[in-house]
Structure 1
Amino acid sequence: MLERMEYFELTIYKCCYLILAIEFDDYDNVVSQKDFEQQEILYMHLQQSINHIISNQSGIIDVRMDRDFALLLSSDNENEVNILEEAYSIGDRIIETLSKNSISISIGISEVTCDFEQIGETFLHALDALKYKFNLGTKQLINYEDIKNIKKIESLELTDIQTKINEILLSGNEGLASQFVIKLFEGFEASASKKVVRNTCFMIIMCIQNAINEFSITFEDIFGKEELIWEKLMKFETIYDVKMWLRNVICFTINYINKKKERRGHQLTDEIACYIEEHYREPITVNSIAQALFYNANYLNNYYKAETDTTILDYLTQVRMNKAKKLITHKDNYRIQDISLMVGYKNEAYFRTLFKRWTGLSPKEYKLAASK
């Protein structure tokens, strides 16, 4: 390959080599949405700017690689420091020049190699460095040597995320949401790839979706269109943008839930009371009540306890016991077995035990006491 370069009179030295991979920031929005002619004009402008900067320097070859540009720097001595300094100088000037023309780019810098046969692998390393633009931000010079030994973060368990999201949404506390996001992204900022961050955020959004189902809420209720959530996640260019977006999604969700709680307030407890009043004779449970009212059972029970300082089951028992008291003292002189069935208990022995626990008297003792 060196011989072919010399044949085409491309100046290249034979001691040290280094690659600069140049990439448009926010490629999907800035480049891919343009038509072919506009894309070519943009690339031509980039090419001209690069050529102007390197025109007076030897040992540099520029190559367009589909959506990226690459600069091959070569040196006639084995001093790696010199070629690295040259790479940083060229990179800074390219970023600064294009920035003045409202074009944002980032540059990945490969390691220095003295083996020309390793140029292909070296180019891939420069591209690998660019992947960390997501973590470090746009308009960056990113050296492969700085990121190659970064330890990958451990994956998060879906069940752990779901538990935490449920806790945050139930708390109604935006501060907890911020703490969760900050802690999560502390593990991301130095090491996680765009794919890892997006996949994790995807899991978190799924967990939020599962959690709000318990409140009978959908993303469309909160954000208008559910698709907007997923579309935005796929278009973010930096980890900071994703971090702010995720925090906002959780906080907006908390605000919506809090407002819904305020609106429903006593209405929901009244709905529970009405349902129990109408169905206490039946073998109802917290699950069947929640299903009838279109709520998650755990959420409904926690909400009711927070509002009334008692559980739904205790309230159901209270209603049944009050009904039983009236039936025990009724003039029709119902049998205890019949009363048990009339208030929703098929097992008479269980009813007797529960009645005594609730009133301190057996049904017979209660009837005698009431008749005096």
Structure 2
Amino acid sequence: MLKPIVDEELVSALQRIVDDKKRRLCEVGERVRLEQALQASMPLLEERFVRSWFAGLGGDEEKIEAQLRFFSLSVPAGPYAVLAVELDDPGARLDEAPVAERELLLLRVSDIVRRALADRPDCLICKAEDLRWGVCLFGSQEEADAAAASDRAFAAAERIWQEASDAGFSLTIGIGSPISGLDRLAEGYRQAAQALSHKFRLGHGQLISADEVEPGGEAAERSGRLSQGMLDEVNRVLLSGEAERFADRLLADGGLRGAHAVRGQCLGIVSCVQLLLSERNLDLAHSGAAPELQWERLLKLETIADIRQWLIAFLDASARWMEAQCEHKSGAVVREAKRLMEARYDEPLTVKAISDSLHYSPNYLNFVFKQETGQTILEHLTHVRIKAAQKLLRETAAKMYEISRMVGYGQETYFRSVFKQITGLTPKEYREKTRGPGSL
């Protein structure tokens, strides 16, 4: 300060100090503002990270673990399981709904899932797709094995399903196999989503385990074999009344291990009964045994003995109701089929064409027709056509190929063969025998 100075230089130096101080204060203020904005955005950032993780874009294990710690989220101590939760049949609620109503409804479903798992801080929930939510269920050190992870998954799925049911929503939930490794969450979600694809066959409101439906596994192979023959087996039970023997055989199968597998098998039987009744133009809901009620009852059964009694009672009640309805309807069904064949015998009719016209399944229509008349549909149609051909041979001078076409046969040779098989005469012999001296 004792040295000679230039005033301008001193002022300039002081101004630089002031400017630098201001810049530092601005930087601190900006950082505080950004940190506050970051804290406010944490829920959104966390949701974005979890969604990218479910989609397989989370990176390697080290990066994922760093992200989990940043968001103060649990890091799995062992195997964990993933659920895919899907809103069933949203069309009626969402198709015509305004955007605000649609978003509110989806928020309600999200809230249902979160509320059902509110006491599980060790889980992650995100809206993975438009009508589908992903749930990741971690475990503690005490639950660090695959069996515990599987139990957590089924327990959580049942709680979500029940919460949704109480709120008036139907959800189908796919349950992935227990997995290990942070970078495999997307694989677990894909398994759960793949299980959801079986909703088409099993129906709405199901808990579907990937272990039981995925191709390649022993359980899936067994499930595939059962599904191929199950309709025929259940149909035989409904017709024979052997529900008790069927239940004992089914539940004694060593492949059905655990309550969840047994429940899933029983719900498959409900679906079979529903399909078999629909083939007869009957609705299971009208019998007082609506599928959703069956699932609700099953969830409350705790022992294999209870489930056995439920299954026998359900099959017996369904068989009695079907028999009563079919006895009332079968005569009318046969009359409808006969009228159609007599009106359209000149067309290239098949059993499928007839059943489609009458809105029955081919198997059911043929079964009822045979039971009532002792003939199959095709046997009766053949007699109708031959009877019409006999009349044409007696009363007209039409040529054989013309008569063949007029009664629904495209090939004259085939017509001749069928005619002789039924009457014992060729068409020509029949005409000569039945026409008198004054005939055409």
Q: Same fold (TM over 0.5)?
A: yes
1:196 equivalenced with 2:261 (yes/no):
yes
1:366 equivalenced with 2:433 (yes/no):
no
Q: Give the deviation of 1:127 after TM superposition.
A: 12
Deviations 1:271-313 (A, max 9, x none): 1111111111111111111111111111211221122111111
1:164 aligned to which of 224, 233, 242: 233
Q: Percent identity?
A: 33
1:321 equivalenced with 2:374 (yes/no):
no
Which residue number corresponds to residue 179 of structure 1?
Answer: 245
* Amino acid paired to 2:357: A
* Amino acid paired to 1:203: G
In structure 1, distance between residues paired with 2:148 and 2:390 = 82
1:210 equivalenced with 2:275 (yes/no):
yes
Q: Give the deviation of 1:195 after TM superposition.
A: 1.2
In structure 1, distance between residues paired with 2:274 and 2:348 = 32
In structure 2, distance between residues paired with 1:179 and 1:365 = 57
1:252 aligned to which of 317, 339, 343: 317
Which residue number corresponds to residue 285 of structure 1?
Answer: 350
Aligned length: 231
In structure 1, distance between residues paired with 2:253 and 2:351 = 40
Deviations 1:37-79 (A, max 9, x none): xxxxxxxxxxxxxxxxxxxxxxxxxxxxx79xxxxxxxxxxxx
Q: Give the deviation of 1:235 after TM superposition.
A: 2.8
1:307 aligned to which of 364, 372, 375: 372
* Amino acid paired to 1:257: M
Q: Give the deviation of 1:368 after TM superposition.
A: 0.5
* Amino acid paired to 1:179: R
In structure 1, distance between residues paired with 2:403 and 2:230 = 48
In structure 2, distance between residues paired with 1:313 and 1:187 = 40
Deviations 1:120-139 (A, max 9, x none): 4799999999xxxxxxxxxx
Deviates more, 1:313-322 or 1:338-347: 338-347
* Amino acid paired to 2:340: Y
1:342 equivalenced with 2:406 (yes/no):
yes
Give the alignment's TM-score, normalised by structure 1.
0.56
* Amino acid paired to 1:337: Y
Is the alpha carbon distance of 1:125 and 1:229 closer, same or farther for their aligned partners in structure 2, counting shifts above 3 Å?
Answer: closer
Q: Which runs of 5+ in 2 are unaligned?
A: 1-118, 121-140, 152-217
8 Å contact kept, 2:274–2:283: yes
8 Å contact kept, 2:263–2:298: yes
* Amino acid paired to 1:200: Q
3-state SS in 2 of match to 1:217: coil
In structure 2, distance between residues paired with 1:328 and 1:315 = 20
8 Å contact kept, 2:416–2:427: yes
Q: Give the deviation of 1:346 after TM superposition.
A: 1.8
Deviations 1:89-129 (A, max 9, x none): xxxxxxxxxxxxxxxxxxxxxxxxxxxxxx94799999999
The higher relative CO (CA closer than 8 Å, separation ≥ 6) is in: 1
Within 5 Å, give how 1:75-114 maps onto structure 2. none
Which residue number corresponds to residue 308 of structure 2?
Answer: 243
* Amino acid paired to 1:275: L
* Amino acid paired to 2:245: Q
* Amino acid paired to 1:334: A
Is the alpha carbon distance of 1:317 and 1:230 closer, same or farther for their aligned partners in structure 2, counting shifts above 3 Å?
Answer: same
Q: Which runs of 5+ in 1 are unaligned?
A: 1-65, 68-118, 130-151
